[in-house]
A and B are shown apart, each in its own frame.
Chain A
Amino acid sequence: MTFLHPWAIVLGVAAAAVPVLVHWLTSPRPVRMPLSTIRFVREAVHERRSWRRLRDIILLCLRTLAILLIALAVARPQWGQPRQVSDLQQGDAVRVVLLDVSQSMAARAGPVEQIERARTVAAEYLRYRPGLVADLITAAVRPQAVFDVPSTNFDALRDELARARVRPERLEVNRALDQAARLLTPAGPNDHRRRELVLVSDFQRSSWGGANFGPLPADVRIQFESVAPRQPLANLAILRVEGRATDLSGSTQLAVDVGNYSPNDRKVTVELSAGDLRWRLSGTAPAQRVTTLTEEIGSRQIGWQPGEARLSGVDDALPADNVFPFVLHGRPAPKYALLTRQLGGRRPTSSLFLECVLAPTGGKGRSKGAANAEPAVARLDPRALDRAVVSASHLILLDHPGKLSPETIQLLADLLRRGRPIVYVASEPIDATNLKRLCESAGSGLQLPVEFLPPPVGQSRRDLVLASVRRGSAPFKVFGDNLTSLTGRLRFAGGISSRRLDTGLDSDILATYNDGTAALVLASSDAGQLAVLNADLAASDLPKTAAFVPMMSELIGQMLERGHRGGALACGDPLVAQLPVEAGSAAGLHVRGPALNPHERVDGFGQLVDEALGARWRWTSPGPPGVYRVERDGQTVLAAALTIPAEESDPDPLRSKELTDRLAIGRTAAYRGAADEGQSRDDFWKWFAMACVVCVVGEISMLLAFRT
């Protein structure tokens, strides 16, 4: 409890002596009289004294209490944590109210959405007071301030506050704090106005956990106004829907991630629909966990197929995330270009091993029943490269390619940047040179985590074993608990040396040999991916083990899927999508939104532009959620599903101590939660004044009842 006018307490304590003084001053001067029967007087007084003393004590207490109560009322006590920002504080001030309008603010605690409660709280701070200028920031991915500088136009601020709506976006809290810092920066050295920042939000842990208050001026008073209820909200959400090829033949597994952000396990049922197809996935979602429900759906229909997943029979805090748009992309049977100087045939060479992995049925791909079908694997000699075949293939493999010509390198680099995955099996020293030139041609978009070098002269690369692998990443994830037993027996030979580069990502190194050189690297290059398998397959025992086919299938399948997944993009995050090569130029392309209205304007869904690598779809502020399609003449060339960011589904809020003592450490900050409204009150002075009146009335009643 704090006091607005503490001096009144001191005055009240001093004034508490007044009743005693008054009692002494107003007590009648006794008349002295000798009395023979004083014994009877004394006995009577003793008998009466208890009553008299009780009456006097009560009267004195009531008088003293009345004075103390009136002093307390004047002191204006404030219960709970005092607000750092209040209209009771006088003086000039600059105030910025930051209102969280991210998707989580649509969560309901009872019948009211959190945004409505937040609007009411924010309105308390946007009232006119002399000397106060204010501004309002509605914050999601991109914060938007009503005025460029704080203003006294409170009517406009309140109008904007009334118009504020929840956006299906996540909260970029640091971007919002940066904008608040700009608004609160003093105009000059003589600007000594008080600076106040009011943050009205549900303070989701996922959004506010990384908040940085450093850019704010040091003297800013921060008031955290939480609208999250005391009891955490229970929410179920679909976080991801993905159609994933389980093998190179095109069989697809539908995976749905369901997040259960409630204290109890829940049985969930997800109904999916894509075109005429319907699926129903059921399972149990453990509390505070993300559960993946899967369903084998066979081969996908070729082309882009929009769909929608919906949680059935769920009544939770945030209904918006119970529906999840997704896109399935059915691709034709992949074609591979195998660039090698090794001759074909049945001789066991490394290229043959790769060919067996890519086309286990003898190069006829999936349509083995069609006699005139094109072979799935085109074995090409890099010295006489058919550029058309290479460009038409879905994945390019290089094994013992020898020294590649600059034209070939440039072709590969171009294809890589435009999304064509490349698998390079590095087994000869010349491969180090090829990779180096490929990286140089691909430009800065390709950052390998290691630099491949020819092995030192005299060094024998034999009996290499895998020292470390990324168990949770493809292609090793598929082995699960058997990974150690499988990889422990593998012996590798050949390959080239490597040196770690600071510019690359550690996560791109998927496996490392016991000599420290990289065994498997997977790096992105613009739209494509480059995988380098550093081994001579013919000299290694990997192709002779059962791990070879699934490992290579997983690696190649993942690389193929990356370009055809369609993908789920978060609403609000800037969208830059590279259109497929077959999409052609941007002219004639247009974007259709989820409303399926053929007359939708392209301008409303971003821009389609031609760039060096082909056509691109750019959209600064994408949304609302749904499936958006880029079409040419009614044919979809690309589809993307815009979804609510997954982090918005977790309603777990930060605790007050975490906000004030950890994130805003060193700042003058106060926290007030929605559940604390009853405690943090400053209108108790009325009750004290009323109690004072009661004391006075009680004193008068006592005097009347026990008058002498």
Chain B
Amino acid sequence: MTSRAISRFLDLLALSALEHMRFTTRRRAEGVFMGYHQSRSLGGAGEFVDFREYTGGEDLRRLDWKVFARTGKAFMRLHEEETNLACTLAIDASGSMRFGAASRRDARGSKLEYVQYLTTAMSQVIARSQDHVGLAVLNGSLGHWLPPGATASHVERLQEIVATLDPQPSLQMAHALRELFERSRRRGVLLLASDFLMDDLDDVFGVLRLFRHRGWDVVVLHIVHPNEERLPEGVAYRFDGLENEGRVNCSPADIRTLYEQRFGAHLAMVRQLALAGGCDYRRVSTSVPYLQTLRGFLVDRAG
């Protein structure tokens, strides 16, 4: 497969080191085409894996007549199929993802930039495995949505959208996720990259539980900037909210410990909610190179 590197976030040279790695899922996939992933259906075209006693109403074409003739008992032949994977990359494009940017117009160093690099590489890895990859940009509403696809143009389009993300201040994400849920017709993998700094956190994980209930494999990537974990040194700061939350004047030294306690509690709560909802949770620090993060992720997924 050939792909033109049209996105500035796509570094094919760096990704060549991950060429032998493949995005896998721990659950059976429900694909359309043949692929590398175990299919949810156990049809007759695949590799034989086992027998099973016949029960009424089953397709008689899969009845093993030879065994029936020899033993007089009806057994069904079970074959495992392999299919492709449909992975939807959901990106939180709220204002808080701009944290760490060099300036208002220059997003370098921000969580969003990190996510852009990560999802671009992820899309490339997924597409390389003949799997379908889709995109959902979440910023208050479902900003962009590309259904999963595997064509080169589709992937290019996806990477272009990722490269041109423009965060919008928003403290709501559940509505956009619900919209994504309603639009998605086929089971797959939902990979949500967000900092989870929002007001409707419970609703968000409520929607994620809907995905899980439908059989989706939900992967939560919790993006954390190191400067979020610890307030800067200094006598007085005026902090401006990135989601139009106003401003706060304070001396970081006065609240440092309390802030760290509260932020730590937030991280723990997101993790708790994710795991409780059956999601795969992974905290991603932007201080770690995205390729290292991707490698670790792929390795973990591979089991």
- A and B found bound together: yes
List A residues at the B interface (Cβ < 8 Å). Answer: 27-45, 47-48, 52, 708
Residues in B243-284 with C-beta less than 8 Å from chain A? 243, 245-251, 253-255, 258-259, 262-263, 266
Instruction: Provide the B87-129 mask, 1 if CB < 8 A to any CB of A, else 0.
Output: 0000000011111000000000001000000000000000000
**Do A34 and B262 touch across chains, with their CB atoms under 8 A apart?**
no
**Do B242 and A36 touch across chains, with their CB atoms under 8 A apart?**
yes
Inter-chain contacts of A37 with B (CB < 8 A): 96, 99, 197, 228, 259, 263, 266
Give Cα distance in the complex from A33 to B258, angstroms. Answer: 19
What are 8 A-to-B residue pairs whose CB atoms are below 8 Å? A36-B95, A36-B197, A36-B225, A37-B266, A40-B266, A47-B258, A48-B258, A52-B254
- From A52, which residue of chain B is reached at the shortest CB distance? B254
Residue from B97, B251, B254, B263 in contact with A40 in the complex, judged by beta carbons closer than 8 Å: B263
Question: Interface size on B (CB < 8 Å)?
Answer: 37
Q: Does B47 contact A (CB under 8 A)?
A: no
A-B contact count (CB 8 A): 96
- From B263, which residue of chain A is reached at the shortest CB distance? A40
Inter-chain contacts of A36 with B (CB < 8 A): 95-99, 111, 195, 197, 225, 228, 242-243
**Do B228 and A30 touch across chains, with their CB atoms under 8 A apart?**
no
Inter-chain contacts of A34 with B (CB < 8 A): 98-99, 239-242
Give Cα distance in the complex from A29 to B239, angstroms. Answer: 13
Q: Does B236 contact A (CB under 8 A)?
A: yes
Q: If A52-B254, A708-B253 touch, does A30 touch B236 (CB 8 Å cutoff)?
A: yes
Task: Please give me the 7 A-B residue pairs with the lowest Cβ-Cβ distance, nearest first.
Answer: A36-B96, A36-B99, A44-B255, A30-B238, A44-B258, A28-B236, A30-B236
Give Cα distance in the complex from A67 to B237, angstroms. Answer: 31
**Do A38 and B254 touch across chains, with their CB atoms under 8 A apart?**
no
Inter-chain contacts of B237 with A (CB < 8 A): 30-33
Give Cα distance in the complex from A27 to B250, angstroms. Answer: 11
Give Cα distance in the complex from A37 to B245, angstroms. Answer: 10
Inter-chain contacts of B228 with A (CB < 8 A): 35-37
**Do A39 and B236 touch across chains, with their CB atoms under 8 A apart?**
no
Give Cα distance in the complex from A139 to B21, angstroms. Answer: 123
Inter-chain contacts of A30 with B (CB < 8 A): 236-238, 249
**Do B255 and A41 touch across chains, with their CB atoms under 8 A apart?**
yes
Shortest CB-to-CB span from B102 to chain A, Å, is 11
Inter-chain contacts of A42 with B (CB < 8 A): 245, 248
Inter-chain contacts of A45 with B (CB < 8 A): 248, 250, 254-255
Residues in B213-249 with C-beta less than 8 Å from chain A? 225, 228, 231-232, 234-243, 245-249
**Do A35 and B241 touch across chains, with their CB atoms under 8 A apart?**
yes
**Do B234 and A31 touch across chains, with their CB atoms under 8 A apart?**
yes
Residue from A29, A31, A35, A52 in contact with B242 in the complex, judged by beta carbons closer than 8 Å: A35
Shortest CB-to-CB span from B248 to chain A, Å, is 5
Q: If A36-B195, A37-B228 touch, does A44 touch B242 (CB 8 Å cutoff)?
A: no
- From A29, which residue of chain B is reached at the shortest CB distance? B236
Q: If A44-B262, A48-B258, A52-B254 touch, does A33 touch B238 (CB 8 Å cutoff)?
A: yes
Known A-B contacts: A27-B236, A36-B97. Give 4 more (CB < 8 A).
A34-B242, A37-B228, A37-B266, A42-B248
Inter-chain contacts of B225 with A (CB < 8 A): 36
- From A37, which residue of chain B is reached at the shortest CB distance? B228
Give Cα distance in the complex from A38 to B236, angstroms. Answer: 15
Inter-chain contacts of B254 with A (CB < 8 A): 45, 48, 52, 708
Residue from B238, B243, B255, B262 in contact with A31 in the complex, judged by beta carbons closer than 8 Å: B238
**Do B253 and A35 touch across chains, with their CB atoms under 8 A apart?**
no
**Do A31 and B99 touch across chains, with their CB atoms under 8 A apart?**
no
Considering residues A32, A35, A39, A708, which has the most beta carbons from chain B within 10 angstroms of its beta carbon?
Answer: A35
Shortest CB-to-CB span from A299 to chain B, Å, is 108
**Do A33 and B262 touch across chains, with their CB atoms under 8 A apart?**
no
Give Cα distance in the complex from A52 to B253, angstroms. Answer: 12
Residue from A29, A33, A35, A48 in contact with B255 in the complex, judged by beta carbons closer than 8 Å: A48
- From B257, which residue of chain A is reached at the shortest CB distance? A44
Inter-chain contacts of B95 with A (CB < 8 A): 36
Give Cα distance in the complex from A32 to B239, angstroms. Answer: 6
Residue from B99, B111, B245 in contact with A39 in the complex, judged by beta carbons closer than 8 Å: B245
Shortest CB-to-CB span from B228 to chain A, Å, is 5
Shortest CB-to-CB span from B278 to chain A, Å, is 27
Give Cα distance in the complex from A632 to B93, angstroms. Answer: 138
Shortest CB-to-CB span from A47 to chain B, Å, is 6
- From B232, which residue of chain A is reached at the shortest CB distance? A33
Inter-chain contacts of A28 with B (CB < 8 A): 235-236, 251
Give Cα distance in the complex from A47 to B254, angstroms. Answer: 11
Shortest CB-to-CB span from B290 to chain A, Å, is 19
- From B264, which residue of chain A is reached at the shortest CB distance? A40
Give Cα distance in the complex from A36 to B100, angstroms. Answer: 9
Give Cα distance in the complex from A35 to B259, angstroms. Answer: 13
Give Cα distance in the complex from A194 to B134, angstroms. Answer: 105
**Do A33 and B253 touch across chains, with their CB atoms under 8 A apart?**
no
Inter-chain contacts of A29 with B (CB < 8 A): 236
Residue from B96, B235, B243, B259 in contact with A41 in the complex, judged by beta carbons closer than 8 Å: B259
Give Cα distance in the complex from A30 to B236, angstroms. Answer: 5
Residues in B34-69 with C-beta less than 8 Å from chain A? none
Give Cα distance in the complex from A605 to B209, angstroms. Answer: 128
Inter-chain contacts of B197 with A (CB < 8 A): 36-37, 39
Give Cα distance in the complex from A37 to B242, angstroms. Answer: 9
- From B227, which residue of chain A is reached at the shortest CB distance? A35
Give Cα distance in the complex from A45 to B241, angstroms. Answer: 14
Shortest CB-to-CB span from A51 to chain B, Å, is 8
**Do A33 and B251 touch across chains, with their CB atoms under 8 A apart?**
no
- From B97, which residue of chain A is reached at the shortest CB distance? A36
Inter-chain contacts of A44 with B (CB < 8 A): 250, 255, 258-259, 262
Inter-chain contacts of B231 with A (CB < 8 A): 41
Considering residues B239, B242, B246, which has the most beta carbons from chain A within 10 angstroms of its beta carbon?
Answer: B239
- From B110, which residue of chain A is reached at the shortest CB distance? A36
- From B197, which residue of chain A is reached at the shortest CB distance? A36
Inter-chain contacts of A27 with B (CB < 8 A): 236
Inter-chain contacts of B243 with A (CB < 8 A): 36
Give Cα distance in the complex from A35 to B97, angstroms. Answer: 10
Inter-chain contacts of A39 with B (CB < 8 A): 197, 241, 245
Give Cα distance in the complex from A27 to B239, angstroms. Answer: 17
Shortest CB-to-CB span from A675 to chain B, Å, is 56
**Do A41 and B250 touch across chains, with their CB atoms under 8 A apart?**
yes
Shortest CB-to-CB span from B223 to chain A, Å, is 10
Inter-chain contacts of A708 with B (CB < 8 A): 251, 253-254
Inter-chain contacts of B99 with A (CB < 8 A): 34-37
Inter-chain contacts of B98 with A (CB < 8 A): 34, 36
Shortest CB-to-CB span from B201 to chain A, Å, is 11
Inter-chain contacts of B246 with A (CB < 8 A): 38
**Do B266 and A38 touch across chains, with their CB atoms under 8 A apart?**
no
**Do A40 and B262 touch across chains, with their CB atoms under 8 A apart?**
yes
**Do A32 and B262 touch across chains, with their CB atoms under 8 A apart?**
no
Shortest CB-to-CB span from A43 to chain B, Å, is 6
Inter-chain contacts of B245 with A (CB < 8 A): 38-39, 42
Give Cα distance in the complex from A52 to B236, angstroms. Answer: 14
Residue from B239, B259, B263 in contact with A33 in the complex, judged by beta carbons closer than 8 Å: B239
Give Cα distance in the complex from A27 to B241, angstroms. Answer: 22
Give Cα distance in the complex from A666 to B242, angstroms. Answer: 78
- From A706, which residue of chain B is reached at the shortest CB distance? B254
Shortest CB-to-CB span from A630 to chain B, Å, is 102
Give Cα distance in the complex from A45 to B253, angstroms. Answer: 11
**Do A32 and B255 touch across chains, with their CB atoms under 8 A apart?**
no
Shortest CB-to-CB span from B204 to chain A, Å, is 16
Inter-chain contacts of B249 with A (CB < 8 A): 30
Give Cα distance in the complex from A532 to B238, angstroms. Answer: 114
**Do B235 and A33 touch across chains, with their CB atoms under 8 A apart?**
no
- From B95, which residue of chain A is reached at the shortest CB distance? A36
Considering residues A30, A34, A37, A38, which has the most beta carbons from chain B within 10 angstroms of its beta carbon?
Answer: A37
Shortest CB-to-CB span from A24 to chain B, Å, is 13
**Do B239 and A43 touch across chains, with their CB atoms under 8 A apart?**
no
Inter-chain contacts of B258 with A (CB < 8 A): 43-44, 47-48
Give Cα distance in the complex from A28 to B247, angstroms. Answer: 17
Shortest CB-to-CB span from B245 to chain A, Å, is 5
**Do B263 and A38 touch across chains, with their CB atoms under 8 A apart?**
no
Shortest CB-to-CB span from B175 to chain A, Å, is 20
